Amino acid sequence: MRYIKVIIISLLLLNAFFTPVLISAQSIDDYAENFIARVEQDFNILETAGQYLDESKFDQAVKYLLENKDYFEDSNRLYLDGLNYPDATDQEIDIFNTAADASAKILEGITTLGLAANETDATKINALATSGVDSLDAGYALYYNNLYPKLNDLYSSAQTTFLLYVVGLIVGLILLLVTQILYMKQSDTYTLDGIGRKALFKGMRNGALAIFAGFLITLVTLLFLPGSTYYIMWGPVIYGGYLFFKSLIKLLRFRPELVPPQQPPSPTPVT
């Protein structure tokens, strides 16, 4: 029952302190997976087309790109769809915008090269081909120099956040175990000093329990529960930290009241 009280208070504080955090997770999890797969496939298509151009196989490059034009149109629509997710972060929106801009440039280049392939005037062919290749280069640069680094930053940020919560969970567990052991050592002490210390160790233990519970619930929701938002349980964590350090400070300042020994009654003089 003593643990239930702490947990109930912590969860009540959740209403005031919980923070939604968005990291390409599960309400848009399927979308995120499709997004990454699309970006990789887009890049592979561009790599193949680039190899044709490097080998001076211009006609094959144009044909290959035209065959994949519909694919890039679908990619562009997919990237624009990401802008409509209400639970997408600013960082994710920036990534979706970059992908949409990159695919739009690629489409522009493919369309221009298609016009060049149907043109008969040599001057126009050269101008259209040059413009088309420039658009493809611009799109490729957006993929390679902008989009990929942003995706890596997002992944690194998510990994760092996860590790921080794991560390918080471990710290909470260590504090819980240590304070529980210290509390149990005080259990059989019935002196004034022992009773006071026991109460303070109990407060520290309950605070550690709230910290541990907050980080545990955070990791469980992050790993196993659906929804793009996982919850940092700042309510339990803040309450637990307050309770732990409040009790710790009191313990460091604790000085038991000393009751002066009573003087034995003076013997009655014999007359």
Residue 267 lies in a domain: no
pLDDT tens-digit series, residues 170-218: 999 999 999 888 888 775 555 556 667 778 888 899 999 999 998 998 8
Amino acid letter at 252? L
Structure tokens at 123: 């001057």
Whether 261 maps to a domain, the answer reads: no
pLDDT at 16: 41
User: Tell me, what's the pLDDT at 226?
Assistant: 54
Ranges of residues in the chain with a pLDDT under 50 are 1, 3-26, 228
Same-domain pairing of 201 and 232: yes
Last residue of a domain, one of 92, 125, 158: 158
Among 158, 182, 216, which residue terminates a domain? 158
Q: Is 39 part of any domain?
A: yes
Same domain, 49 and 12: no
pLDDT score, position 126: 85
